[in-house]
Amino acid sequence: MSDMLPLELSGATVRRKGKTVLGPVDLTLAQQGLTIVIGPNGSGKTTLLRVMHGVERLSAGSAEWSVPHSEARRRQSYVFQSPIVLRRSVLDNLCYPLKLMKVARRDRVATARDWAARIGLGDALATPATRLSGGERQKLALARALIRKPDVLFLDEPCANLDGRATRDIEALLLGARAAGTRIVMATHDMGQARRLATDLIFMVSGRVHETGHAGHIFTHPETPELTAFYNGDIVE
Amino acid sequence: MNDIGEGIVAALGLLVTLDPDLIDISLRSLQVSLSALVIACAIAIPFGTFLAVQRFRFRRTVISVLNALMGLPPVVVGLVVYLLLSRSGPFGVLGLLFTPTAMIIAQVVIITPLIASITHQAMRDLWAEYHDLLISLNTTKVQRVGTLMWDGRRTLLTAALAGFGRAIGEVGAIMIVGGNIDNVTRVLTTAIALETGKGDFALALGLGFVLIMLALLVNFAIHGLSGTEREGRW
Ligand SMILES: Nc1ncnc2c1ncn2[C@@H]1O[C@H](COP(=O)(O)OP(=O)(O)OP(=O)(O)O)[C@@H](O)[C@H]1O
Ligand SMILES: [Mg+2]
C-alpha cells in the first residue's frame, strides 16, 4: 500500500482548441485496488489517465497526490495506448529506465534480462525493438514500465491488438504487480478483461465520469441506462 | 577534353610518385576541415537537439536565423573573420591571420549553422516519437538531449558528412583568411584556384581529383567506422 495515495481530482478540466475534452472530474483514487476505466471512443479515458499521471496540462481544477508532485512523478509508470519503443535493442530498452534511476550497470543488465525472459523476449535481447511485432512491443512497453517498480501504474489499453494468449500473459504480469503492491489504473475496451481484473470501475461518457462503483456491485447492478447499454454492446453517445 | 585526360595523367603521376607537395597540401586540407568539423559538431549537434526539445519564446526566430545562416556566402564570412583577426581588429593581438587556425575558424562559422539545422530537423521527428515516453519517465532536459543524440546518431552522421563536404570544398573564405601561403596555408581548393589562374589546368585537375577522392575516402571511413551499413536497420 503506497503513501502516495489517495489521489484527489477536483474539478479537473482539460480544454483543447475551445472544446472541453475532459471534465470537470471529481474523483478520489483510493489506496488499494485495480481500477478499470471504460467508455466509448473519444470519451476521455486517455485524457483522464494522462491527467492523473501529470503529463496533461489542466485548464482548471487540480490533481493532488498525497506526496509532493515531484516525488509522485518518480514513483509512477505509464504504458501508452500506442507503445513507444526506443530505437535500441530490447535489452537497452529495458535498461533505460534503470539507468535514469542510476542503477549500477551490472544490476541493470541482470534485471533487464530477467524481465525480457518474463515477457517471452529472452532470446531477443539484441533485437532492435523497432523490429518487434505490435504485440511484442506492447509487452516490452509494459515490462519497461514495471521494471521501475512503480507504486502506481497507468495502462492505456495494453491488450489492444493482442491475441488471447498474449492477453493472458499480460494479465498475469499485472496481477503479479498488483500482488506486489502496485496500484493499477487501466483503460480497456475489453469487457471480459474488465470483469476479470477490476476491483473498481470508472465509466466515462463525453469527457465526464458517468458512473463509478465497486466491481461486486457495478457489473451486476448498473445504475444508469448508458452503462447498461454499454454492457450490452449497444452504442453509447 | 584533352585537358581532362592530361589532368588524370597528372593526378596519377602526382599520386604514384607520392609528390611531397601534394601530400603536404592534402594533409593540410584534411587537418583544417576535420578540425573545423569536430569543433562545429561539438557546438551544432547539442544545440540543434536542444532546439528540438525545448520550447522558448524566440525559438521560431532562432530556427529561421539558423536556416538563413546556412546560406551565408563564404566570401563574406572570410571577410568578417579577416577583419576580426587583422592586426587592427579586436583579435589582432592573437596573430592568427594567415594561419591554419584562422582557416579553421572561418570553416567552423560556415558549417555550424548547416549541421545545426540538419540536426534540428532530424531530432524534431525523433522527439515527436519519444516525447510522451521521455516526459513520462521524468527525464531532465540534459537526459532528453542525450537520449535523442544517441538514438539519432546515424542521422547525425549524415549532418556531419554534409558539413565536412562543405568545409573541404570551400575556397572563398579560407583564401581570404589563410592567404594561400605555400607550405603554410595552402590547401587543395586554394591550390586549384592558383593553378587554374596560372593556366596549369593539368595540375589543377589533378588536384581536383585528389580532392574528390579525399572527400569520398572520408565518407567511406566514417561510415565504415560507425557501421552504418551493417546497422542501417533503424
Ligand atoms: N490535443 C488535443 N486537441 C484536441 N482535441 C483533443 C486533444 N487530445 C484529445 N482530444 C479529443 O479529446 C477527446 C477524448 O480523447 P481521449 O483520447 O481521451 O479519448 P479515449 O476515451 O481515450 O478514446 P479511445 O477509446 O479512442 O482511446 C477526443 O474527442 C479527442 O479528439
Ligand atoms: Mg484512448
pLDDT digits (tens, 9 = 90+) for A101-158: 999 999 999 999 999 999 999 999 999 999 999 889 999 999 999 999 999 999 999 9
Does residue B180 sit at the A interface (CB-CB below 8 Å)? no
* pTM of the complete model: 0.88
Cβ–Cβ contacts within 10 Å for residue B93, how many? Answer: 8
Amino acid A1: pLDDT = 66
In this complex, do B136 and A128 lie within 8 Å of one another by their Cβ atoms? no
Q: Which of A46, A56, A236 is the pocket-test mutation for ligand 1 (most atoms within 8 Å of CB)?
A: A46
Question: Given a cut of 70, is residue A75 above it in pLDDT?
Answer: yes
Of A73, A74, A86, the CB nearest to B151: A86
Check pocket membership of A50 for ligand 1, CB cut-off 6 A.
Answer: no
Question: Given a cut of 90, is residue B29 above it in pLDDT?
Answer: yes
Cβ–Cβ contacts within 10 Å for residue A219, how many? Answer: 16
The tally of domains found in chain B comes to 1
Check pocket membership of A16 for ligand 1, CB cut-off 6 A.
Answer: yes
Amino acid B204: pLDDT = 86
Q: Find the residue in A nearest to B153 (Cα).
A: A87
3-state secondary structure chain B: CHHHHHHHHHHHHHHHCCCHHHHHHHHHHHHHHHHHHHHHHHHHHHHHHHHHHCCCCCHHHHHHHHHHHHCCCHHHHHHHHHHHHCCCCCCHHHCCCCCHHHHHHHHHHHHHHHHHHHHHHHHHHHHHHHHHHHHHCCCCHHHHHHHHHHHCHHHHHHHHHHHHHHHHCCCHHHHHHHCCCCCCCCCHHHHHHHHHHHCCHHHHHHHHHHHHHHHHHHHHHHHHHHCCCCCCCC
**If you measure from the C-alpha of residue A173 to the centroid of ligand 2, how many angstroms do you get, rounded to a whole number?**
22
Of A73, A74, A128, the CB nearest to B233: A128
DSSP labels, A191-233: HHHHHHH-SEEEEEETTEEEEEEEHHHHTT---SHHHHHHHTT
Residue B6 lies in a domain: yes
A178-191 per-position pLDDT tens digit = 999 999 999 999 99
Residue B10 lies in a domain: yes
Residue B231 lies in a domain: no
Residue B133 lies in a domain: yes
pLDDT tier, B228 (very low <50, low <70, confident <90, very high otherwise):
low
Of A55, A96, A131, the CB nearest to B136: A55
Residue nearest atom 1 in ligand 1 by C-alpha distance: A16
Strand order from edge to edge, sheet including A60-64: A19-29, A7-16, A60-64
**Most confident by average pLDDT, A67-71, B6-10, B91-95, B126-130:** B126-130
pLDDT tier, B233 (very low <50, low <70, confident <90, very high otherwise):
very low
Residue B205 lies in a domain: yes
Amino acid at A194: A
- Greatest CA separation for chain B: 66
B186-220 per-position pLDDT tens digit = 999 999 999 989 988 878 888 888 899 888 988 88
In the structure grid, which three cell numbers stand for residue A40, read together?
Answer: 466509448
For CA atoms B189, B191, B196, B201, the dihedral sign is negative
Cα end-to-end distance, chain B, whole Å: 44
Rounded percentage of chain A residues whose pLDDT exceeds 70: 100
Residue B233 lies in a domain: no
Amino acid B234: pLDDT = 45
Amino acid B200: pLDDT = 83
Domain extent for B212: 2-226
pLDDT tier, B155 (very low <50, low <70, confident <90, very high otherwise):
confident
Looking at the complex, report in whole angstroms how far the Cα of residue A182 sits from the nearest Cα belonging to chain B.
Answer: 17
**If you measure from the C-alpha of residue A45 to the centroid of ligand 1, how many angstroms do you get, rounded to a whole number?**
8
DSSP labels, A51-90: HHHT-S--SEEEEE-SS-HHHHHHTEEEE-SS----SSBH
ipTM: 0.92
> What 3-state class would DSSP assign to A148?
coil
A200-234 per-position pLDDT tens digit = 999 999 999 999 999 888 989 889 999 998 998 88
| Residue A215 and residue A194 in contact, taking contact as beta carbons nearer than 8 Å | no
In this complex, do A86 and B133 lie within 8 Å of one another by their Cβ atoms? yes
- As a whole number of angstroms, the distance between CA A193 and CA A117 comes to 24
Question: Given a cut of 70, is residue A74 above it in pLDDT?
Answer: yes
Mean residue pLDDT across chain B: 89
In the structure grid, which three cell numbers stand for residue B179, read together?
Answer: 592567404
Which CATH number is B65's domain given? 1.10.3720.10
- As a whole number of angstroms, the distance between CA B49 and CA B33 comes to 23
